[in-house]
Amino acid sequence: MRELFQADLKSLGDQLVEIAGLVRVAMERAREAVETADVEQAEQVISDDARIDTLQNTLDEKAIELLALQAPVATDLRTVVGSLRMSTSLERMGDLARHIAQLTRLRYPELVFPESRRESFSRMADDCVKVAAALEQLLTEHDLDYAREIVKLNNEINELHAQNFKAVAAADWDATAPQTVDVTLASRYFERFADHAVSVSRKVTYLLTGEWEPTIPSA
């Protein structure tokens, strides 16, 4: 029975990796869609989100079954509960990629962002793709260097997010009302995407070390 239980725990980890992979692909496609007004890529992101939702539900049902039937304790209990919480964050990341794709579809054939903010959003999107890739590797390899990379990228995204809001509030902001709404929403979507990745990385760090924050080596 113990071997079966350990196999079930490993299966939870494998499912998290699978969901993280789908989230990475979703953000890659959402980035391409929003930067090039590629409505086909946007539609793919939107339709594929259902797969992420299904996998999350399957993982959660299995985790709840393990809690009910196996009554895990100590590290095993933290692993099961952590898997439940991480799957929620990953599912939300998929939703945020879908929201970006939906903006692309809404504004097609026009680009979503005004010229003055396109460089900023290109950097945000690139960083979010890197975040998603690092998160997938973290869940696969359990190497905390990836957790540190996620924290670093999140800080960069937060700075870009603040710059976007500062630009919108500036006296010389001259974009249209729809563009202003799009900039505000999309910046928040990218920022929250990275925040959820940090949340997952903190949970992995805790499961591996007992500490919530990944230790950043001194220079």
All structural domains of the chain with their residue ranges = 2-209
Q: Contact 198/127 with Cβ under 8 angstroms?
A: no
- CA–CA separation, 198 vs 74, rounded Å? 24
Q: Contact 48/55 with Cβ under 8 angstroms?
A: no
* pLDDT confidence tier of residue 219, bands split at 50, 70 and 90: very low
Q: What is the pLDDT of residues 144-163, one digit of tens each?
A: 999 999 999 999 999 999 99
For residue 116, is pLDDT > 70? yes
Please tell me the pTM assigned to this model.
0.94
- CA–CA separation, 150 vs 32, rounded Å? 21
Instruction: Please count the other Cβ atoms lying within 10 Å of the Cβ belonging to residue 113.
Output: 23
34-38 mean pLDDT: 97
Q: What is the pLDDT of residues 161-183, one digit of tens each?
A: 999 999 999 999 999 999 999 99
* pLDDT confidence tier of residue 210, bands split at 50, 70 and 90: confident
User: Tokens 């946007």 map to which residue?
Assistant: 42
Using the Cα atoms of residue 167, residue 170, residue 175 and residue 178 in order, give the sign of their dihedral.
Answer: positive
Please give the CATH number for the structural domain made up of 2-209: 1.20.58.220
What's the confidence (pLDDT) of residue 33?
98
CA 25 to chain centre: 11
* pLDDT confidence tier of residue 216, bands split at 50, 70 and 90: low
